[in-house]
Chains A and B, each alone.
Chain A
Amino acid sequence: MYLPKFQPQLNRGTPVPGRTTGSRDCGPRTWQMGVDFLTKGELVPTIRDLRDRANVEGPQPTSILDAQRAVESYVNIRGRRPLRYAPKSSVADVRTAVRAGRFVQCAIDYGKWNALLARTGDPDYGDGHSIGVLGFRMEEQPQWLTWDPLCDGRRDGIPRGPVWVFAWKVIDALEAFTPGAGIQAGVFYGGQLRERR
């Protein structure tokens, strides 16, 4: 199975006044990995291109509807289906998509994420954040492979790249993003067709 290139946030992308690490690009970084997955690495758009297509200039934060606008603007990619993005508000739909091997963008509360995990990309951050989920395995309990752009080596001792996490922890962090109001996620689909020569 093709896996996308991991896209870290550190020192890349849109500068934020008063910050040094090029943040607020967690959403577009996640979209980059999703588009990479759908096109098997053929298309890895720049952050600027993705933000232009979403019509959200940097360094503004983004939403799942911005993601849909950006991803679905890639209609004509030779030999591939148009790229699609389905916003989701139910945990059941996210579970189904992850089990089916899809790339899923998850809007999570990073404070909850830090409370649940021993080592995260930024133990001091506690607000809205975007991660990707692509990959599923069973080891006593279901685990999902998470693609957190903050796992970028910004400090010693934190993960760098994709990390396996118990599925229930991802779901708890999803639910904490909009407490009592469902979840906010998006399923990437379309794209990759078998290449026949």
Chain B
Amino acid sequence: MSDADIGMVPVEPDDILDEVATEDVDPGEGFPEDE
């Protein structure tokens, strides 16, 4: 028997808007610019 338990539940696919295209994000954001 597992000692883990359900931790992640789905949302309605239509609720995922995909508004931000990853390639459109400012390249300066989210990156270790100085490395």
Contacts and interface: CB of A to CB of B under 8 A. Distances in A.
Is B one of A's binding partners? yes
Interface of A: 1-2, 9, 16, 19-21, 23-27, 38, 40, 59, 61-65, 81, 84, 86-90, 93, 96-97, 100-103, 107-108, 110, 121-122, 124-130, 150, 154, 177-178, 181-182, 184, 187-195
Nearest to A180: B13
Nearest to A87: B16
Interface residues of B, number: 30
Contact of B4 (A38, A108, A125, A190): A125
B4 A110 contact: yes
B5 A107 contact: no
Contacts of B18: 86-90, 93
Chain A's interface: helix, strand, loop or mixed, by majority? loop
Given A86-B22, A191-B30, A192-B32, A154 B10 contact: no
Contact of A64 (B3, B16, B33): B16
A45 B1 CA distance: 31
B8 A61 contact: yes
Most chain A C-beta atoms within 10 Å of own C-beta, residue among B13, B15, B30: B30
